[in-house]
């Protein structure tokens, strides 16, 4: 592979450019050309129906936008940005509604595509498939919306092919003949080399993430599995070396960070002095996931050279792509070299996470997914689960059960009710989940049936990369997705369990105080009740590996998921209860999934008074599926053992942020220890882990001297944030996280 620099110098140049964009790019840097061109397209194609307006509009934008090329590019595709002049700022503010996109561009993130078809057919093959589908539906007299849908999809493929050709020409003009050759081959056929495969991925990703989707949290799928054969064939034929592949993967990772804006959205809000915002840059703080590892469909471990290269080339200071490692059972024993690379990257605070393959597959099977589909699980955005390219997620129906639970406890106290059994405490939570889930599942039923009757009225780029949209001539909101789903989330679950445990122990089991007295202390925020506060704090907590708290956590989660599954069976329509065409590639059906994720415990806690577990008013609640702050008092091993006691085989998503002291896992011995602890957690049935390895004193120093620590990153729910770009209250919450030293 011809390079303009030595390999080591090229690595330095690529990484430094990406880091500058993450840490020094002006906060107000705007993808202004995108905004201007879409505004012009909106006027030019105003009279067309949405499907054709979308196709022609995208062609207009990609035919007229710049195609920047740098002399060191191995992977082509950049999105122009600039700090606006006063005149441009005025124009931007006049059109910035709807994320500065016209109303017919409705692409949103939180999607994962059927990437296998992109690799198998390439863009030319996908276009031809759409042409054949249009001819078939036209011959059978399909309705006008379906024909327009397919005509619009063909225009989308045309736009992507023209954009690729423009990049080939631009690279050729720069003297980058190899990069130009790759793009020209992409115009003729499916990817036939590893570099063509990687470039094909990026060419569609950069358009979706840089030009189309608001908050484009797009998951890139199992890229190591999809490209493994191309890599192996290249190596065998002598077309590629492992070092060549490393450079290509590194540049691909760098390109993902070039298109980001500055700042952090979820915990910091949208402070314009620290955050670019999605109006200015669609990809401002959108995590793109890339999955590696796990098992192949035949059951063998995905542990080859290209999988290891994808792990080796992770740059700890990067935000994207977020690497999701699928942990297959016994992987630490069966794939020791790969697992060691993964754990080494995690202890460097890399933007990555590990998910249990077994738990996710089991949960999807329990929810009603077919076995071959359950194996295709992925995640996107902030740990939302999905079945790649066949699943349309309607909504995240998350609920912080503890908030209405405390209302219920107050009502008991007002009415003079004294709980006398654990069952009393459990039933209060059951009733809350039943009310919440009934509403969400009923909404899924109604929306699903509506969409089955209106399947082709709208086109998005996602439709062009779902498995069944183009063959069926219908949007993924209609017959283009096999599963139409909602996610029932149990937010701040550990805080709820700590409350239940405290009441059960103090009031029901030990009878150390009456429920009425306990609630008086709670309502007073424990002011004047020092003995009660001490007793409440002393009770078992989830995360300390106390068998009492662990059992409550296990039993309550079983009850919640049983209730939701029962409601889904009762409320959702079955196949045969709704009409579908007789020539579909799949018959769509609704599905309910379970989740334990939400990184807003700090916001919930800020608004809440004290709770019976000894938590004072305003203190953050537990984040995601992790223990509450201060509960993991017996170290990392005890914390993970405690969390592994939950029935995670029923849960498809739930982040566990873990903060560790870097010095505790330094050197080869420290790496061995971390690999053993984290691997042991998954082998016990654990669901997910993501690690921030930063000394708390360094975080405090960064607050005081941000210029010296601009590349310091921390883990949030399912993405990474540059610490100094966060607002102080969010930084303080990160600092409060426990540091694990065991």
Average pLDDT over residues 111-138: 97
Q: At the topology level of CATH, where does 7-338 sit? A: Anaerobic Ribonucleotide-triphosphate Reductase Large Chain (3.20.70)
CA 433, distance to chain mean position in Å, is: 25
Residue 248 near residue 194 (C-beta atoms within 8 A): yes
List of residues 6+ apart from 672 with CB closer than 8 A: none
Measured over the CA atoms of residue 343, residue 348, residue 352 and residue 356, the dihedral's sign is positive
pLDDT band at 270 (very low <50, low <70, confident <90, very high): low
Distance between CA atoms of residues 171 and 173, nearest Å: 5
Residue 35 has pLDDT above 90, yes or no: yes
- Residues 597-608 have a mean pLDDT of 80
Q: Is residue 18 helix, strand or coil? A: helix
Q: How confident is the model at residue 741 (pLDDT cuts 50, 70, 90)?
A: very low
Could you tell me the pTM of the whole model? 0.95
Laid out side by side, the sheet with 391-399 consists of 391-399, 483-490, 589-595
- Phi then psi for residue 441, to 5 deg, are -70, -35
Judged by DSSP in three states, 721 sits in: strand
Residue 75 and residue 30: Cα distance in Å, rounded? 23
CB-based burial label for 415 (10 Å; 0-12, 13-18, 19+): exposed
Among the ranges given (8-17, 173-182, 407-416, 706-715), the one the predictor scored with the smallest mean pLDDT: 706-715
Q: Of 319, 459, 366, which is closest to residue 19 (Cα–Cα)?
A: 319
Q: How far is CA 265 from CA 205, 275, 330, 473, 726, in A?
A: 22, 7, 37, 36, 9
Average pLDDT value for residue range 245-272: 89
Higher pLDDT among residues 708 and 470, named by residue:
470
pLDDT of 737 reads: 65
Check: CB of residue 125 under 8 Å from CB of residue 465.
no
What is the rounded CA–CA span in Å between residue 227 and residue 249?
A: 12
Question: What's the whole-number average pLDDT of the chain?
Answer: 94
Q: Is 646 within 8 Å of 560 (Cβ atoms)?
A: no
- Asked if residues 246 and 231 have their Cβ atoms less than 8 Å apart, the reply is no
Q: Contact, 242 vs 6, CB < 8 A?
A: no
Q: pLDDT digits over 284-315, tens only?
A: 999 999 999 999 999 999 999 999 999 999 99
Q: How large is the angle between the packed helices 194-207 and 177-186, nearest 10 degrees?
A: 80
Residue 501 has pLDDT above 70, yes or no: yes
Q: Which residues contact 280 (CB under 8 A, 6 or more apart)?
A: 28, 29, 30, 31, 92, 100, 261
- Across 83-101, average pLDDT: 87
611 backbone φψ class: left, alpha, beta (φ>0; ψ -120 to 50) = beta
Q: For residues 430-453, give the mean pLDDT.
A: 96
Q: What is the DSSP letter of 349?
A: T
605-639 pLDDT, tens digit per residue, is 888 999 999 999 999 899 889 999 888 888 899 99
> Residues 455-483: what's their mean pLDDT?
94
Torsion angle of C-alpha atoms 231, 237, 242, 246, degrees rounded to 10: -50
Question: Cα–Cα distance between 52 and 44 in angstroms, integer?
Answer: 12
| Torsion from C-alpha of 596, 613, 693, 301, nearest 10 degrees | -40
pLDDT at residue 115, as a whole number: 98
Positive or negative, the CA dihedral 96, 97, 102, 106 is positive
Q: Is the pLDDT of residue 116 over 80?
A: yes
Rg (Cα) of the chain, in Å, rounded? 26
Q: Can you give the pLDDT at residue 487?
A: 93
With bands split at pLDDT 50, 70 and 90, how would you rate the model's confidence at 582? confident
Range(s) of the chain covered by CATH 3.20.70.20: 7-338
Counting residues of the chain whose pLDDT is more than 70, the rounded percentage is: 98
Instruction: Give dist(CA 730, CA 268) in Å, integer.
Output: 6
* pLDDT exceeds cutoff 50 at 742: no
Question: Which residues have a Cβ under 8 Å from the Cβ of 211 and sit 6 or more positions away?
Answer: 31, 34, 58, 61, 62, 65, 79, 282
pLDDT, tens digit, 9 for 90 and up, residues 488-498: 999 999 999 99
Q: CA dist 83 to 25, 259, 336, Å? A: 10, 15, 48
Query: What is the rounded average pLDDT of the residues 343-351?
Result: 96
Quote the distance between the C-alpha of residue 213 and its chain's center: 15
Q: Is the pLDDT of residue 237 over 60?
A: yes
Determine the Cα–Cα distance for residues 16 and 26; give it in Å rounded to an integer.
Answer: 16
Residue 99's nearest CA partner among 362, 329, 276, 301 is 276
CA distance 341 to 311: 7
Are 557 and 648 in contact by the 8 Å Cβ rule? The answer is no
Q: Can you tell me the distance from the alpha carbon of 207 to that of 476, in angstroms, rounded to the nearest whole number?
A: 19
- Is 488 in a helix, a strand, or coil? strand
Q: Is the peptide bond before 321 cis (omega within 30 degrees of 0)?
A: yes
Nearest to 710 by CA among 724, 727, 696, 729: 724
pLDDT > 90: what percent of the chain?
A: 83
72-87 average pLDDT score:
98
């Amino acid at each position: 592979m011809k390079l303009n620099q030595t390999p080591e110098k090229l690595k330095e140049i690529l990484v430094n450019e990406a880091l500058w964009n993450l840490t020094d790019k002006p906060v107000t840097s705007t993808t202004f050309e995108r905004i201007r061109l879409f505004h012009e397209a909106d006027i030019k194609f105003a009279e067309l129906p949405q499907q054709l307006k979308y196709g022609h509009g995208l062609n207009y934008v990609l035919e007229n936008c710049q195609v920047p090329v740098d002399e060191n590019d191995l992977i082509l595709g950049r999105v122009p940005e600039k700090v606006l002049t006063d005149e441009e700022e005025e124009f931007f503010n006049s059109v910035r509604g709807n994320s500065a996109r016209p109303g017919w561009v409705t692409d949103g993130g939180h999607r994962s595509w059927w990437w296998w078809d992109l690799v198998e057919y390439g863009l030319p093959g996908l276009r031809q498939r759409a042409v054949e589908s249009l001819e078939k539906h036209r011959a059978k007299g399909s309705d006008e919306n379906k024909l327009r849908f397919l005509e619009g999809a063909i225009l989308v493929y045309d736009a992507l092919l023209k954009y690729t050709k423009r990049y080939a020409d631009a690279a050729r003009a720069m003297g980058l003949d190899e990069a130009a050759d790759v793009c020209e081959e992409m115009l003729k056929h499916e990817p036939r080399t590893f570099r063509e495969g990687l470039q094909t991925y990026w060419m569609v990703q950069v358009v979706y993430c840089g030009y189309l989707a608001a908050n484009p949290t797009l998951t890139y799928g199992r890229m190591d599995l999809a490209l493994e054969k191309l890599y192996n064939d290249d190596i065998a034929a002598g077309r590629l070396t492992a070092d060549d592949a490393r450079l290509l993967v590194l540049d691909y990772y760098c390109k993902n960070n070039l298109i980001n804006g500055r700042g952090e959205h979820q915990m910091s809000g949208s402070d314009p002095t620290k955050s670019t915002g999605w109006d200015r840059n669609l990809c401002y703080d959108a995590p793109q996931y890339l999955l590696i590892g796990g098992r192949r469909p035949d059951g063998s471990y995905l542990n080859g050279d290209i999988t290891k290269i994808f792990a080796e080339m992770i740059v700890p200071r990067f935000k994207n792509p977020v690497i999701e490692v699928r942990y297959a059972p016994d992987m630490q024993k069966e794939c020791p070299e790969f697992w060691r690379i993964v754990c080494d990257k995690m202890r460097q605070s890399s933007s990555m996470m590990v998910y249990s393959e077994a738990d996710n597959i089991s949960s999807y099977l329990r929810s009603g997914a077919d076995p071959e589909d359950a194996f295709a699980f992925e995640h996107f955005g902030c740990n939302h689960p999905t079945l790649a390219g066949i699943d349309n997620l309607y909504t995240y129906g998350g609920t912080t059960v503890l908030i209405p639970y405390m209302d219920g406890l107050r009502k008991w106290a007002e009415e003079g009710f004294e709980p006398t059994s654990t069952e009393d405490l459990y039933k209060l939570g059951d009733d809350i989940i039943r009310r919440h889930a009934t509403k969400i599942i009923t909404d899924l039923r109604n929306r699903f049936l509506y969409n089955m009757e209106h399947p082709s009225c709208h086109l998005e780029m996602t439709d062009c990369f779902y498995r069944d949209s183009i063959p069926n001539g219908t949007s993924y909101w209609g017959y283009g997705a096999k599963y139409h789903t909602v996610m029932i989330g149990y937010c701040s679950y550990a805080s709820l369990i700590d409350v239940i445990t405290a009441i059960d122990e103090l009031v029901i089991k030990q009878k150390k105080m009456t429920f009425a007295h306990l609630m008086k202390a709670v309502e007073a925020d424990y002011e004047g009740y020092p003995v009660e506060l001490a007793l409440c704090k002393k009770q078992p907590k989830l995360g300390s590996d106390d068998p009492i708290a662990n059992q409550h956590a296990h039993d309550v989660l079983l009850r919640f998921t049983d209730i939701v599954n029962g409601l889904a069976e009762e409320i959702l329509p079955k196949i045969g209860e709704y009409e579908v065409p007789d020539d579909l590639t799949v018959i769509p059906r609704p599905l309910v999934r379970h989740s334990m994720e939400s990184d807003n415990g700090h916001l919930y806690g800020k608004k809440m008074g004290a709770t019976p577990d000894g938590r004072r008013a305003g203190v953050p609640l537990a984040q995601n599926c992790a223990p509450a702050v201060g509960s993991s008092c017996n170290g990392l091993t005890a914390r993970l053992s405690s969390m592994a006691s939950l029935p995670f085989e029923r849960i498809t998503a739930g982040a566990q942020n873990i903060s560790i002291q870097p010095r505790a896992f330094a050197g080869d011995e420290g790496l061995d220890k971390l690999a053993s602890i984290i691997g042991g957690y998954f082998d016990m049935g654990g669901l997910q882990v993501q690690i921030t390895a930063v000394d708390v004193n360094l975080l405090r120093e960064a607050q005081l001297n941000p210029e010296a620590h601009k590349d310091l990153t921390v883990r949030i729910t399912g993405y990474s944030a540059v610490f100094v770009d966060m607002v102080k209250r969010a930084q303080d919450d990160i600092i409060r996280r426990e540091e694990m030293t065991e």
